Amino acid sequence: MSRHANYVPKGVIPAVLLPFENDLSIDEASFRKHLRDVAAVDGLSAVTINAHSTEVASCSFDEQRRVLDIAQDEIGVRLPLVNGIWADGSLEAARLARMAAQGDASALLVFPPAPFTLGQSPAMALAHFKRIADATDLPLIVFQYPLATGQGYPKETLLKLCEEVPTIRAIKDWIGNVPHHEWHIQTLQNLARPVNVLTTHSSWLFSSLVLGCNGLLSGSGSVIADLQAQLFRAVQKNDMAEATRLNERIQPTARVFYADPFVDMHNRMKEALVLLGKLPRAVVRPPLVKLERAEIAAIRQALVEAGLLDKNAGIQAA
């Protein structure tokens, strides 16, 4: 049983980054420091690992297990850990789920299988989640992609999943459509067995939270977890003046982190942490590549505008 037994995913859940050495191996020392930095923020409910933000697609099974072990060692006593399940096949997803349960994770973030880009049926989605649920009784978070990707679950499929897989306790909502997002909030959070909506619409986080999400799960929390936690509290208290002020600070970072190409979002967050003196280098694994100097300069300016970096601070070598 997890040390954080009966954990229900809600509240503010940053997804941390995974630093690499120049030879592309995991920089364990920097990862440990990054975990401590993020976990020190007041108001977090959990931390996510082995997800988009940790470049999980480039990590082996053993590396993912090592990431979980390090996170448990550094912050597991303090905070529940949400472990991502990234696999194209259901058998491998179940294997990862068992590994995460054995590693004392508190919940699983289930990514949609890549083959769904070619088409999916409710039966396929249900088979995938049931295979994972049969492997562990940990709470599951459904990662809801935009429907246009083919990996998002239509409303009827999502309701069927929530009905037939009782360990589904939340969705990470990236639907990218405001009315559909609001439907998730109004419908799922009011089921007989409620399913929390954790927004990951980080480029319009304020608007999303005002609609009534019970939490947020975001890679940008690797950089601005404190601002996200403060914004969530302000919205929960209906203090719109404070929420507006915080949103104005968040917006410059959202603008640069979520620019095109979208796939570079966590690459940019690593560069931000280097600029803030919190990481020694911003190495990413291929096919991602190092950002150009002009884009790093734009990230620096956004950090200044957000009040996170002094305008006279020198640019550190990444």
The answer, yes or no, to whether residue 147 has pLDDT greater than 50, is yes
Q: Is the dihedral of CA 299, 300, 302, 308 positive or negative?
A: positive
Residue 76 DSSP SS3:
coil
Residue 4 DSSP SS3:
coil
The answer, yes or no, to whether residue 5 has pLDDT greater than 90, is no
| Segment 207-255, tens digit of pLDDT | 999 999 999 999 999 999 999 999 999 999 999 999 999 999 999 999 9
Count CA within 13 A, CB hemisphere, residue 309.
Answer: 26
User: Across the chain, what does the average pLDDT equal?
Assistant: 96
129-166 burial, b at 16+ Cβ within 10 Å, e below that, comes to: bebbbebbebbbbbbbbeeeeebbbeeebbbbbbeebe
Over residues 289-299, the mean pLDDT reads 98
CA–CA dist 129, 90 (Å, integer) = 8
Length reported for the chain: 318
CATH H-level, domain 11-239: superfamily: Aldolase class I (3.20.20.70)
Question: What is the DSSP code (8-state) at residue 273?
Answer: H
pLDDT band at 317 (very low <50, low <70, confident <90, very high): very low
| Segment 67-90, tens digit of pLDDT | 999 999 999 999 999 999 999 999
Q: Which long-range contacts (CB under 8 A, 24 or more apart) does 85-92 make?
A: 85/50, 85/109, 85/110, 85/111, 85/132, 86/50, 86/51, 86/56, 86/57, 86/111, 87/111, 87/113, 88/113, 88/114, 88/115, 89/113, 90/127, 90/128, 90/131, 90/132, 91/131
- Residue 316's pLDDT is 45
The answer, yes or no, to whether residue 189 has pLDDT greater than 80, is yes
pLDDT band at 313 (very low <50, low <70, confident <90, very high): confident
**Which residues, in sequence order, are CB contacts of 149 under 8 Å at separation 6+?**
117
Look at the block and give the residue holding tokens 């009011």. 190
Q: Are 168 and 157 in contact (CB under 8 A)?
A: no
Residue 21 DSSP SS3:
coil
Closest CA to 10 of 175, 220, 172: 172
CA–CA dist 254, 252 (Å, integer) = 6
- Per mean pLDDT, which range of 2-11, 60-69, 114-123, 162-171 is the poorest? 2-11
- Residue 1's pLDDT is 56
Closest CA to 284 of 84, 52, 123: 52
Q: Are 162 and 193 in contact (CB under 8 A)?
A: yes
pLDDT band at 318 (very low <50, low <70, confident <90, very high): very low
Closest CA to 49 of 95, 5, 114, 107: 107
- Residue 312's pLDDT is 85
- Residue 242's pLDDT is 98
- Residue 2's pLDDT is 64
